[in-house]
Chains A and B, each alone.
Chain A
Amino acid sequence: MNIDGTPVAEDAGNAVCTSGATVGSTQSGDCGKAPTGAVEELAGLALRGDNPYIEDWKSMGGKVIGYTCSYMPEELLHAQPCKILPVRMGAVGCSGTEDADIYLHKYICSFTRCLLQLGIEGEFEFLDGMVITDACDQMRRTYEYWRDEVGMDFLTMLSVPHSIEGEHRFAWYLEEVRRMGESIAEKYGSYPSSQRLRESIAVYNRYRKLMLELYTLRSCAHPKLSGSEAMRIARAGFNMPKELFNEKLEQAISELSSRPALDDCRARIMIGGSYLDDTFLIDIIESTGALVVSDTLCSGRKYVDSMVDEEGDPMEALADRYFKHIACPRMMGQFASRLDFTRRIAEEASVDGIIFHRLPFCDNHAVENTMEGRELEKLGFATLNLESEYVATDEGRIKTRVQAFLEKIGK
């Protein structure tokens, strides 16, 4: 079968790993038919205001709060008695940044500009509020534009220390998390009990464990799904109530487990980098016959890799996990652990090569990807450092580079 789960065409020849996905923007499955299973439903879930789960949530009086960074502890929002759905904001489907470019110079990364563009266009009207962190220079500086130009009703900043070493740094982060909770309480008049927070932590730990199971289905010797499918499923997880997503994901894992394996791929590839929720790059890689079997993306494996301790004080446990989860490159003094993480995931997935992706003008990943690539090459891994805009462009250039990389590694 093809890596998108469709049967292999008789004339497919050796290209058994070729994705059926169309290279380009991937808002939804858009097949026009009702999904036949959980995999199809999750992989084709509409985004933002068109998302039926968000529509249902809003129609039942729930609030939706968007965020952009993996240092934002979702459980604290999820546990609110006033019913808050946390949504990790993406900008898939953004086709241009004409309006955002009035405010943000071209030196600001295109993901940041795309988000603001959609904000200006009203695509995030379904959001009741937004949490921004100072993790990245570009995103932190859009705070004022979300406040003044988009007019976000509730907007708060979460300031994250640049190192996990030192008790007072953790204490600062914990206090920031508490303050964020207090600002929500002030806005919506609700604050979660410890018991509610524990329940939310359990829901999110379940989510992370299921996502890791999904990773196992990709990274095992006989992968059951493509990288493109996996990214679409993960993206659904950013945009659904986690309880419902967990149910669907369990079904999806069951469906995927009974599928034939994608055994004949040209090469097993891992991708690394920052936030990526558009399958554009993966579609290109997989269109060459390679299979993306794992990742170390900020929005991927790093996002789900560690659990919140379900014992002890839930707020402290929550802060501990989010502060100390496998680090973003902006966390200084943690390069060795990041490198070790990448190496470990690459070894677990038995990859033939690692493709690092970065957005133009992303300082964190421009340096990190180069550093990790150099060290991994010394350890015997083949790496490719790619740069592309968030909006799907440059398909030919990227495909040529991917093909050249595969040839270089003898695949």
Chain B
Amino acid sequence: MADQESSMAKYEYFRKVDAVCDLFQMAIATGANSPGELDIPMLMQVLPEYHASLVPQIHPEVIESILKPKNKNTIVAHMSAVKRFVGDLASRIDEGQPVIYNFAVTTPEIFLGMDMIPVCYELLPIYIAATFVGGVDDDIDTTEDEGLPGHICSAQKAPNGAIKSGKMPLPDLLVKSTVPCNSSNMMYQWAQQEYGGELILLDSPYYANRRAFDYYLEEWKNMVKQVEKTTGRTLDEGLLRHHVELGNEQLSYLYRLQELRRQVPNPDPGMHRALDVAALYLSGVNREMVEYTKICFEEAQGRAERGESILPAGKKEIRTVWTWGLTPHMIYLPDWLEDNYGMSFLECGLSFLPADIVGYVDTSSIDSMIEGLAWRSFHMPMGRTGMTHADVMIEDFVGIAKSYHADAAVFSGHMACKHSWAVAKMLGDALQEQAGIPSFKWETDLLDTRFTPHASAKAQLAEFFETLI
């Protein structure tokens, strides 16, 4: 590969995410607790040219959030894991590994067990949208230039545009679970038509019962066979067990964090929920990601034992359930709401896994691991709530609202998520009637920063939380 450009250098999304990891870690390593304490001119002198070129594009609010003592250690740990992942991914592609894009509800362990590193199709754009002003808007536009309308999900439009622009590699394999929506399913068909590669499906029925799971498990088994056939790799029991154990360990901390967030005051900063989403999509990839979840847990546990709040002194806590999820291009939003309104972010629709139902993957055999991963996938965010009757999502969030002692709910509805918008009214009514809490619905877009500009989003949320103070 010596005479060829490396994947890290060639693909802008790899290089950019890798640089973000460096920049965040370097900023935190200065010991600054706020942007004002950073010696930017000095940093710009020591930064590599590419890294320095990115600095002016970073959201100032993101820098403000990551430097706060409550967020620092977890950010460093998370970025260490992501840097390792992107580096390993790029190296493997350089070595000739097929480029495998998987959809979020299929976690990576199964591919890692075949000695291949997959990347969640939607993940790298999320990091870029979270970090930079205007995030991935250009890549969304590249896709829309082909004639696709605004209501198609930006989570697929962004990577599609990035591939077209050469910022992400062409796919050899696209593995798509048919949950949660028509939009994502259509965009994977689009990507295959546009860029080639094989499209392998994990079909999910519209039920949340044993019969549906048995079907889904069969889909998983067939998917493994198809990936093995296409790539010529085989599932290695020892390798799979290693990664599944990492994933299980990671989940053990996430489950314990869920328990800690039930406490009053909530000891876990809201910014971590977005990182948890990414951690789920990177489940089992490396030891560093386990360390991230461990640090999240240990810091929250420490605060809980000391009775410390994550809020500024004197702020009354407004305990809030985010029923749709969060807005990645406003990753700093929970932190901003904590500081300004005393909002604490208890749980969200994009990161909640019901621990009592999902549990851990049984590592006793290949079959048990495939079944366990399929079971987890069946209940992953978007999967569990997206592809069955609305009653499941409603029961989940009413249960969360009650057991976490929530004061309010926020539905940050991603505009492309039609099936969720169809549930929003029922969900809000159920939360009011059964848990006695009000819900605020607002319209946002996962990755397109122009749909609801940050100032508008902040104003809307401020208005709601002010009514609760």
Contact = CB atoms under 8 A, between A and B. Distances in A.
A199 B205 CA distance: 31
User: Which size class do B's interface residues fall under?
Assistant: 35 or more
Contacts of A137: 181-183, 418-419, 422
Interface string A166-204: 101100100000000000000000000000000000000
A161 B203 contact: yes
Nearest to B179: A162
B193 interface: yes
A53 B426 CA distance: 37
A144 B147 CA distance: 34
Interface in B144-191: 146-149, 151-152, 176, 178, 181-183, 185-190
A159 B193 contact: no
A105 B422 contact: yes
Contacts, number: 128
Nearest to A139: B422
B424 A172 contact: no
Contact of B222 (A103, A105, A145, A166): A166
Contact of B425 (A102, A333, A370): A102
A341 interface: no
Interface string A276-292: 00000000000000000
A332 B199 contact: yes
Contacts of A138: 418-419, 422
Interface in B416-436: 416, 418-419, 421-426
A31 B98 CA distance: 66
A103 B421 CA distance: 9
Interface string A308-333: 00000000000000000000011011
A332 B189 contact: yes
A361 interface: yes
A223 interface: no
A113 B422 CA distance: 10
Interface string A333-376: 10100000000000000000000000011011011101101100
Given A107-B415, A168-B218, A172-B215, A368 B422 contact: no
Given A138-B419, A166-B222, A332 B185 contact: yes
Contacts of B390: 141, 143-144
Interface in A203-255: none
B201 A364 contact: no
A360 B151 contact: yes
Interface of A: 102-105, 107-109, 134, 136-138, 140-145, 148, 157, 159, 161-163, 166, 168-169, 172, 329-330, 332-333, 335, 360-361, 363-364, 366-368, 370-371, 373-374, 385, 387
A-B complex: 3 closest residue pairs judged by Cβ atoms: A141-B422, A367-B186, A134-B206
Interface of B: 146-149, 151-152, 176, 178, 181-183, 185-190, 193, 199, 201, 203, 205-207, 212, 215, 218, 222, 387, 389-391, 413, 415-416, 418-419, 421-426
19 contacts: A105-B421, A108-B422, A137-B419, A140-B419, A141-B390, A144-B390, A157-B206, A157-B389, A162-B201, A168-B218, A330-B182, A332-B176, A333-B199, A333-B201, A360-B151, A361-B151, A363-B182, A366-B148, A367-B187
Given A142-B422, A335-B193, A363-B416, 14 more contacts: A104-B422, A108-B422, A138-B422, A141-B419, A144-B423, A145-B426, A161-B205, A163-B203, A332-B185, A363-B181, A363-B183, A366-B149, A367-B152, A370-B146
